[in-house]
Structure 1
């Protein structure tokens, strides 16, 4: 059984989208992360080195969103999941990408994609 660590509502400004104006002007993306980790070592030691440093992770996620534009939020979500899984303590990552200002000709509150990716192969 794993524990869950969540960081919700990470606001980033990116230039992702299919349309030229989305890449040119950019827009807000909001990212939610839920990570499957074993918190037992950190709880016993009370040492940041024994867990995922979510401050550093958020900085890495922001950089992944704010650089290198892509067309699809599916691609962006995978990129973010890959960043989360770089830490060998992360067993799985659930990434939600919100695109509240998507160019849709209708009244709507949000476009949301959620993906879950698991670590493959043996753990480091």
Structure 2
């Protein structure tokens, strides 16, 4: 199955980073998700209860990263991927977390991981 649900450009304001000054301010993270999901059932039923609730996923992403306040994007990505897969029954996901402005010469820096089996 190649179906998926996308969330792109989700902005989360949280404490992130390793330097002392970073631990005292909120910074912007931008999260992109692609999650394997069988869209045939909600496609046929037109019933929201059959679909992956992307509003609930978005809320979970925000609360997870705001609570975790990771030093490293890698840690945030691993923790978030595990939490989303467990909470929503997602068997595969690709997750990108970007930190705009972290490197002055770059638009953003970030990490991308894939977890689970398609």
Tell me if both proteins adopt one fold, taking TM over 0.5 as the criterion. Answer: yes
- After TM superposition, the runs of 4+ consecutive aligned structure 1 residues lying more than 4 A away are none
What secondary structure sits across from 1:2 in the alignment?
coil
Distance in 1 (alpha carbons) for counterparts of 2:101 and 2:108: 7
Aligned partners of 2:69 and 2:36: how far apart in 1? 28
Q: Look up the match of 1:21.
A: 21
Higher fraction of helix: 2
**Counterpart position of 1:117:** 115
Q: Secondary structure at the match of 2:88?
A: coil
CA RMSD of aligned residues (A): 1.3
Instruction: Give per-residue Cα distances to partners, 1:69-121, cap 9 Å, x unaligned.
Output: 12110010112212321212x2211110000122x4x41111021000116xx
Distance in 2 between residues matched to 1:2 and 1:87, nearest whole Å:
18
CA distance in structure 1 between the partners assigned to 2:49 and 2:23 by the alignment: 38
TM-score (norm 2): 0.90
Q: Does the 8 Å CA contact 2:68/2:76 hold for their aligned counterparts?
A: no
Which structure 2 residue ranges, 5 or more long, are not aligned?
none
1:46 matched to 2:23: no
For structure 1, the residue ranges without an aligned partner over 5 or more in a row are 120-124
Q: How many residues align?
A: 116
